[in-house]
A and B are shown apart, each in its own frame.
Chain A
Amino acid sequence: GDSVTQMEGPVTLSEEAFLTINCTYTATGYPSLFWYVQYPGEGLQLLLKATKADDKGSNKGFEATYRKETTSFHLEKGSVQVSDSAVYFCAQHGSSNTGKLIFGQGTTLQVKP
């Protein structure tokens, strides 16, 4: 069935370090892919998305490229800030056309000054 697997955390980085959070998916088709972020004490927010192969989603310095050949959607940021500390969720639209999102387990990022 459709699923999303992302790297386990927590990930601890120093400010200005490079960030990669790996995400791979399994699906019967070519689903839209998403990264959501949950800041401490806040709700889930869409960070970026890509709807087809080779699309690059970007927002707030974060990027992710939809790679059909490796079924991946890794999240990257060149220089993290303390304010980026949050839980990051990779997600896909399942192939059922219900609009339901299938989420990975979440990766906690802690950025230290």
Chain B
Amino acid sequence: GAGVSQSPSNKVTEKGKDVELRCDPISGHTALYWYRQSLGQGLEFLIYFQGNSAPDKSGLPSDRFSAERTGGSVSTLTIQRTQQEDSAVYLCASSLELLVGEQYFGPGTRLTVT
């Protein structure tokens, strides 16, 4: 079956603009995770969803970052007023349930803020 998909694959934006990153998890996976991969910080966890609920948002780097999930499926990570330090690859993963089963990762969205 289809894996985790993310769009766009690449996004170049000007500093100060808002961006939306989309993740389509594997069908039937109730848990969804966002990570960020950057040269300076490695792979860092941002937020997780169990169903449509995100119980802990403390991993988001600043209040310019927000995320939502609807219908227990698609998730959107929004970055407002982008800064150059937001440049990174944003990865989405899903698993059957929280703490159950492997986390399957999508190909990522490479965000470049100019």
Contact = CB atoms under 8 A, between A and B. Distances in A.
Partners in one complex: yes
Interface of A: 36, 42-46, 49, 89, 93, 96-106
A37 B105 CA distance: 11
Contact of A98 (B44, B98, B105): B98
Interface residues of B, number: 23
Given A99-B33, A99-B99, A106 B42 contact: yes
Contact of A99 (B44, B98, B106, B107): B98
Interface in B80-113: 91, 93, 95, 98-99, 102-108
Contacts of A99: 31, 33, 48, 95, 98-99, 103
Interface of B: 31, 33, 35, 42-45, 48, 55-56, 59, 91, 93, 95, 98-99, 102-108
Contacts, number: 48
Contact of B106 (A43, A93, A104): A43
Q: Which among B43, B91, B95, B108 has the highest number of chain A CB atoms within 10 Å?
A: B43
Contact of B108 (A43, A97, A106): A43
Contacts of A102: 45
A98 B56 contact: yes
A100 B107 contact: no
B91 A44 contact: yes
Given A43-B105, A44-B105, A45-B105, A100 B42 contact: no
